[in-house]
Amino acid sequence: QTMKQFKLWVHQHTFSENELIVNPKEFPDCKEGDVFEIYDPGEPVKAVRLLLQINNFIPDFQQKDTISILHSVANQFQLRTYWDVQVNKVDPKDVGIELAEILIKDQYLSRNDMWRLSKALDNTCVYVNKKVSSCGIRCQIYELWTKGEKVSCGVINKDTRIVYRSLTAQVFLFIQMSQEMWDFDLNGDLYFEKTIHGFLYELFSKWKEQNATHEVTIVLFSRTFYDAKFIEDFPPERRPCILQDSYRRFYEDFYHVVIQREKRDDWLPVLVTLKHHFTQYPKYINCYHDEPGVPAGCNSTAFDGNILEAYNLTMNIFEKHFVDRTFDRTGQTTVIVTPGPGVFEVDRSLTSIIKQRMVDSGVATDLVCMAEQPLHSVPLFKFRNKDLGQGVSLGDDYNIAHWVNHSFYSSANAKTQQDEFVPRIKV
Domain count of the chain? 3
Alpha helices in 95-247, H assignment, sequence order: 111-120, 191-193, 201-209
Question: Are 384 and 246 spatial neighbours (Cβ–Cβ below 8 Å)?
Answer: yes
Residue type, 18: N
Are both 70 and 138 inside the same structural domain?
Answer: no
User: 177, 279 in Cβ contact below 8 A?
Assistant: no
Q: Could you tell me how far CA 263 lies from the centroid of its own chain?
A: 17
Dist CA 38 CA 141 (whole Å)? 20
Distance CA(117)–CA(98), nearest Å, equals 17
Q: Do the domain assignments include residue 423? A: no
Pair (159, 178) in one structural domain: no
CATH number at 9 reads: 2.40.40.20
Helix, strand, coil abundance in the chain, percent, nearest 5: 25, 35, 45
Distances (CA, A) of 107 to 101, 103, 164, 326, 331: 17, 11, 13, 9, 10
- Which of 121, 149, 166 finishes a domain? 166
Among residues 67, 90, 113, the one where a domain terminates is: 90
Q: With respect to residue 427, please indicate whether it lies within any of the assigned structural domains.
A: no
Exposure letters 168-196 (e unless 16+ CB within 10 A, then b): bbbbbbbbbbbbbbeeebeeebbbbbbbb
Residue 134's contacts (CB-CB under 8 Å, 6 or more residues apart) are: 117, 120, 121
pLDDT tens string, the chain, 427 residues long: the values are 545 788 999 999 888 888 998 888 888 888 888 999 998 887 776 667 899 999 888 877 878 888 999 999 999 998 888 888 888 889 999 999 999 999 999 999 988 999 999 999 999 999 999 999 988 899 999 999 999 999 999 999 999 999 999 999 999 999 999 999 999 988 888 999 999 999 999 999 999 999 999 999 999 999 999 888 888 888 888 889 889 988 889 999 999 999 999 999 999 999 999 999 998 898 888 655 566 777 888 899 999 999 999 999 999 888 877 777 888 899 899 999 999 999 999 988 899 999 999 888 888 789 999 999 898 889 999 987 665 555 556 667 889 989 899 999 987 766 555 556 666 666 5
Select from 290, 286, 180 the least CA-distant residue to 225: 286
pLDDT at 209: 94
pTM value is 0.86
* Whole-number pLDDT of residue 371: 93
Same domain, 84 and 199: no
CA-CA distance, 389 to 140, in Å (whole number)?
A: 61
User: Based on the domain organization, do 49 and 136 belong to the same domain?
Assistant: no
Beta strands at 332-338 and 364-369: parallel, antiparallel or unpaired: parallel
Q: Say if 426 falls within a structural domain.
A: no
CB 175 within 8 A of CB 401: no
3-state class (DSSP) for residue 111: helix
Please calculate the CA angle 303-306-307 and round it to the nearest 5 degrees. 80
By DSSP bridging, strand 343-346 and strand 380-383 are parallel
**Which helix (DSSP H) or strand (DSSP E) does residue 357 occupy?**
helix 348-361
Instruction: Tell me whether residue 241 is in a domain.
Output: yes
How many Cα atoms sit within 13 Å of 2 on the Cβ side?
A: 3
The answer to whether residues 190 and 231 belong to one domain is yes
135: left (phi over 0), alpha (psi -120 to 50) or beta: left
Q: Is residue 414 part of a domain?
A: no
pLDDT value of position 389: 56
Asked if 351 contacts 315 with a C-beta cutoff of 8 angstroms, the reply is no
Specify whether 35 is located in the same domain as 176. no
Which range marks the domain in which residue 399 is found? Answer: 170-408
3-state secondary structure of 94: helix
CA atoms lying within 13 Å on the CB side of residue 173: 20
CATH number of the domain at 373, please: 3.40.50
Specify the pairing of strand 66-70 against strand 20-22. Answer: antiparallel
Please check whether residue 306 lies inside any domain of the structure.
yes
Alpha-carbon distances, residue 254 vs 242, 257, 274, 326, 420 (angstroms): 11, 10, 16, 30, 42
Query: Is 420 within the bounds of a domain?
Result: no
Closest CA to 328 of 266, 268, 263: 263
Q: What is the CATH number of the domain that holds 144?
A: 3.10.330.10
Same domain as 38, residue 11:
yes
Question: Does 417 fall in a domain?
Answer: no
pLDDT at residue 46 in the model: 63
Distance in angstroms (rounded) separating the CA atoms of residues 360 and 426: 45
Whether 17 contacts 132, CB under 8 Å: no
Whether 212 and 333 map to the same domain: the answer is yes
Q: Examine the domain organization and report whether 277 and 175 are in the same domain.
A: yes
One domain for residues 148 and 180 = no
Q: Are 267 and 353 in the same domain?
A: yes
Boundary-marking domain end, from 65, 90, 115: 90
Q: Do 117 and 248 share a domain, yes or no?
A: no
